[in-house]
Amino acid sequence: MRSLLLTCILLLSSGLLSAAEVVGSVILSMGENIAIAADGSERVLKRQSEVYANDLLKTGEKGLLQLRFSDGSRLALKPSTEFRIAEYNFDEKQPEEGKAIFQLLKGGMRTISGQIGKSQKENYRLETTVATIGIRGTHYGVEYIDEGIYCETIEGAIEVTTKKKSVVVSAGEGAWLSNNGNIIKGDATGQTGDYVLQTRRQTGPGSTADKLDAISDDTGVIPAADPELEGIDIDSSQSATPQTQQVVAPDPTGIGSASPAGALTAVAFTENNLASGRRAGSGSVLVNSSSAINVDSSTGTGDLVTGISFIDSKPNTTANACSPCEFTGGNNVGFVTGVGNLTLGGAKLSWGRWNSGFGLTENGTAQALENTFHFMYTDSLTTQARLDVLETARSGSYLYTYSTGSTNLTAPEVDTGATGALVGYGVGATPAGRLYAGSYVMMNWDSLEIEQVSLIANVNDGAGIRNYQLTEQSGVTTTLNDVLQGGEMQLTGVCSGGNCSVGVNDTTMSGQMTFDLVGAQADGAITSYGATGSSPVNQDITLTGTVLLDSSGPAP
């Protein structure tokens, strides 16, 4: 989901990356994989994430990472691997001047070389703690073993140099290098990956080859979790064939139905990661060629979302996305609470919260979720044709508001599982820097920008009433195009009262909010929100929920 956060909830500034050189992108990321930039900042790696010179790439215990570099080379990293892009320069206009220095610090890898080093062999090398490896136009693998490292060549040859000697390892050969510099050569074992992938390759619909073709094609569909792909890397000698594949969302109740193209669900939840603590996540998923939603309508209370399969069709638009992701509801929609539905401007909407039996998988890894899983669903959005008409007919600022007493929402929920209420538009004093009081979004039909966001919620956490006041991030311009059909607005703010406050110190919050227009006249906006903060006593504070904002016309 473009803004499903999970492990990907590491909120990173894209400005930190702008100064670095993009050297390649991720083909496939399964499990929990990250990149650590030269300044120490971390970012989660997902399909089509960019990688940069000086990045340290780290794969998780069940991680699998595959990349394509700008010179055409490919790299597959095994679980629990650390690989540094120590130096990388490539200009396709002067390929002979390209240079690449890589460092394998732990774990294992396989790679197929590209243009760098093709004419100037000395311009490419892989450094390990035991030896330095050069190439002669090749496909090879290296991994750490107890005694040192093992390397093998699938095609071409590599030159392995230790402090004692240098040997050539040709296709079909392997070499064991001890920590003291000794080298023993023999037949390749294939232990660095699928050594004879091309001859073992099976074809046909649903085969491993079929799935690998889909992965190597940037428009293809990646299974959210497929053990058949474990340890397999892509054979670049096989050309990727674009395919149309049916994406299917989970159907835990067994009586669900697939949502039509153009349907959308906004979601919000709390993750509890042992390493990073509680984090609030939110996002929205649009049904298209790469994502699917399953709904169960058996209760007569609207379409209840029971399953979601998501692959980001517009990668790198946010640092928070996970792709692929899969949500599975419980096997009984009786686990859904706070259910509601209505029809607005010709669009059907429904909402609710899963309170049991649900799960979320990101890049093949199950996530630890707490409390309930919020969703708000529509079978259709305001079409682009209708938006074009509205852009011509309307001018100036318009408000989308939440009215006190409206039940068109899932109640705002905090980290303890307690729920509360949103503060309606116009209620209470107008905070500093806001044009109006209460909860609203103001957009401008001339500039097609989101001008102001105000989200105010009150929740009793058992120690008192928490008051959340969240607004758009200062200095960030968000266009309508940025947020429609799955984008997000960055939020900042404060939580005061209850466990949010210690003495005179409140909790600083940050998060995100989705905004998707529904109805023939953009009659409303489906939104989801999630915000996270650390209290003055280092207690994780979160807020999640969904709400339908009604079109209230021109701003007064």
What would the DSSP string read from start to end of 9-26? G----GGGTTTSPEEEEE
Q: Which helix (H) or strand (E) holds 209?
A: helix 208-216
Decide: 211 and 223 in contact? Cβ < 8 Å.
Answer: yes
Cα end-to-end span (Å), the chain = 35
Q: Kindly indicate the confidence band of residue 482, based on its pLDDT and cuts at 50, 70 and 90.
A: confident
Q: Kindly indicate the confidence band of residue 321, based on its pLDDT and cuts at 50, 70 and 90.
A: low
Q: Kindly indicate the confidence band of residue 122, based on its pLDDT and cuts at 50, 70 and 90.
A: confident
Cα(124)–Cα(106) distance, integer angstroms = 19
pLDDT given for residue 250 in this prediction: 95
Q: Kindly indicate the confidence band of residue 403, based on its pLDDT and cuts at 50, 70 and 90.
A: very high
Mean pLDDT over residues 64-76, rounded?
92
The closest alpha carbon to 176, from 143, 154, 140, 138, belongs to: 143
pLDDT given for residue 524 in this prediction: 97
For 454-472, the pLDDT digits (tens) are 999 999 999 999 999 999 9
pLDDT given for residue 374 in this prediction: 98
Mean pLDDT over residues 331-340, rounded?
96
Amino acid residing at 108: G
Alpha carbon 551 to chain centroid, angstroms:
30
Least confident residue range of 5-14, 366-375, 392-401, 501-510: 5-14
pLDDT given for residue 485 in this prediction: 67
Q: Is the peptide bond before 554 cis (omega within 30 degrees of 0)?
A: no
Q: Which residue has the higher pLDDT, 242 or 315?
A: 315
Dmax over CA atoms of the chain, in Å, equals 81
pLDDT given for residue 197 in this prediction: 32
Pairing of the two strands 157-161 and 148-155: unpaired
Q: Is the pLDDT of residue 199 over 50?
A: no
- Beta pairing partners, 377: 265, 350
Q: Which residue has the higher pLDDT, 210 or 334?
A: 334
Q: Is the pLDDT of residue 233 over 80?
A: no
Q: What is the mean pLDDT of the chain?
A: 84
Least confident residue range of 320-324, 361-365, 450-454: 320-324
Q: Which residue has the higher pLDDT, 485 or 76?
A: 76
Where in the chain do CATH 2.60.120.1440 domains reside? Answer: 6-210
3-state secondary structure of 486: coil
Percent of the chain with pLDDT over 90: 64
pLDDT given for residue 314 in this prediction: 55
Residue in the block written with tokens 């998780």: 60
Percent of the chain with pLDDT over 70: 84
pLDDT given for residue 206 in this prediction: 38
pLDDT given for residue 118 in this prediction: 84
- Beta pairing partners, 528: 546
Cα(545)–Cα(528) distance, integer angstroms = 6
pLDDT given for residue 194 in this prediction: 55
Least confident residue range of 95-109, 184-198, 389-403, 522-536: 184-198
Residue in the block written with tokens 């209620």: 427
pLDDT given for residue 322 in this prediction: 63
Structure tokens at 8: 């990907």
**Rounded to 5 degrees, what angle do the CA atoms 416, 421, 423 make?**
135
The closest alpha carbon to 30, from 223, 291, 241, 220, belongs to: 223
Residue 168: CB atoms within 10 A of its CB come to 14
Could you tell me which CATH number the domain at 6-210 has? 2.60.120.1440
For 241-268, the pLDDT digits (tens) are 333 446 899 999 999 999 999 999 999 9
Mean pLDDT over residues 424-443, rounded?
95
Pairing of the two strands 421-422 and 369-378: unpaired
Mean pLDDT over residues 57-64, rounded?
90
Q: Is the pLDDT of residue 169 over 60?
A: yes
Q: Kindly indicate the confidence band of residue 323, based on its pLDDT and cuts at 50, 70 and 90.
A: low
Output the CA–CA distances (angstroms, integers) from residue 226 to 20, 231, 469, in the order listed: 34, 11, 42
Pairing of the two strands 449-460 and 440-444: antiparallel
Q: Kindly indicate the confidence band of residue 362, based on its pLDDT and cuts at 50, 70 and 90.
A: confident
pLDDT given for residue 240 in this prediction: 32
